[in-house]
Chain A
Amino acid sequence: MRRTSAIVAALLIVAAQTYAADIPQRQRRSGYSFMAPDTKAMQDDDTANPGMLWVLDGEALWNQRIGAADKACSDCHGDAKASMKGVAARYPAFDKALGRPVDLEQRINLCRTERQQGTALDYESHDLLALTAFITHQSRGMPIAPATDPQLAPFLEKGHELFTQRQGQLNLACANCHDDNWDKHLAGSAITQGQPTGYPMYRLEWQTLGSLQRRLRSCMTGIRARAFSYGAPELVELELYLMSRAAGMPIETPAVRP
């Protein structure tokens, strides 16, 4: 009996590892490749891509002085075209002071509160999305290159666990759709691989730009699980795992998705 359960356990572990395996590099596909030609055309043309409106606003905010320090992002970081190139490709990154990973939105807010001595921006607020979009846009076309800080390892592992952990009333893990069934359809919609290449991105369904955390929360609501709050460590861990799972894929920000 004990032996049988040991075999069952061993089989379960093997099964879990098979399901949890990352999609091989050559098979990694951006959500872009699942879209209709019209939506692709909208993303490709910077004068038709509504996400570019946020990028433009973000550029204005980059140069705007705020807070008690009366400093703009550009006063420390200079021209974003040079200083921010490739930065978004390696986020979330480990923050030594906090002892945990922070995503780009949190990094912007840390800068605002600590360096500029101003107020933090709310998640999904226009200004935070605009700044995030502007900064990430500087890395467009560059491959995602996750931070290699060894201190990130336990958080990455937690993110991976969350990705493969069944949750909610529908009892689904992220992996059940985005690893196991990404070449199939759910009703009329393509199931994508869930690669975070274009965030913040313009979703036609949302009629606005949204962050990766908003997308993750929508998925959790979709499987009837209780979504983590914006900025929760769990969401950052998931972001961290998703970025490592998408290593090497080019950044598209601002992407357009249906």
Chain B
Amino acid sequence: MASVLVNVPKRAKRGDIVEIRALTSHIMEPGYRRTAAGEVIPRNIITSFACRYNGREIFCADLFPAIAANPYLSFFTTASESGTIEFEWIGDNGFSQTASAAITVE
């Protein structure tokens, strides 16, 4: 039951710099830990994140084992046109999560 919290301002003036925040639920198991029996717990992390503004990529990130569980990313963009902002997380074991939010630019 993965869930996501994204925060995009609903409205902005053209040319405004807006903050976008994305939080997703993920265990981010680094692959270095062992169970009490000594077996390695296999790595299970998000490996990449991308954010697209009306289809154009405005931010992307590679994630690594040292990043904490439930990664939270915050970044800025210039509000240029109304439309949708899409988010995509990809990870180990076929993990894939998407979200989107609408923005109105006046």
Contacts and interface: CB of A to CB of B under 8 A. Distances in A.
Q: Is B truly associated with A?
A: yes
Interface of A: 46-48, 50, 52-53, 56-57, 60, 126, 130, 204, 207-208
A191 to B, nearest CB: 25
A55 to B, nearest CB: 9
19 contacts: A47-B5, A47-B6, A47-B7, A47-B21, A48-B23, A48-B74, A50-B69, A52-B5, A52-B23, A53-B3, A53-B24, A53-B70, A56-B3, A56-B5, A57-B1, A57-B3, A57-B25, A130-B1, A207-B28
Contacts of B21: 47-48
Given A48-B23, A50-B23, A207 B70 contact: yes
Interface string B3-19: 10111000000000000
Contacts of B68: 204, 207
- In the complex, which range does the number of interface residues on chain B fall in? 10 to 19
Contact of B72 (A46, A50, A130, A207): A50
B49 to A, nearest CB: 16
A207 B69 contact: yes
Interface in B21-41: 21, 23-25, 28
Contacts of B28: 207
A78 to B, nearest CB: 23
A50 B22 CA distance: 11
Interface of B: 1, 3, 5-7, 21, 23-25, 28, 68-70, 72, 74
Contacts of A60: 1
B11 to A, nearest CB: 17
Contacts of B74: 48
Given A50-B69, A53-B25, 19 more contacts: A46-B5, A47-B6, A48-B21, A48-B23, A48-B72, A48-B74, A50-B23, A50-B70, A52-B23, A53-B3, A53-B5, A53-B24, A53-B70, A57-B1, A126-B1, A130-B1, A207-B28, A207-B70, A208-B69
Contacts of A47: 5-7, 21, 23
A102 to B, nearest CB: 26
What 6 pairs between A and B have smallest CB-CB spacing?
Answer: A47-B7, A207-B69, A50-B70, A53-B25, A56-B3, A47-B5
Nearest to A56: B3
Nearest to A130: B1
Contacts of A53: 3, 5, 23-25, 70
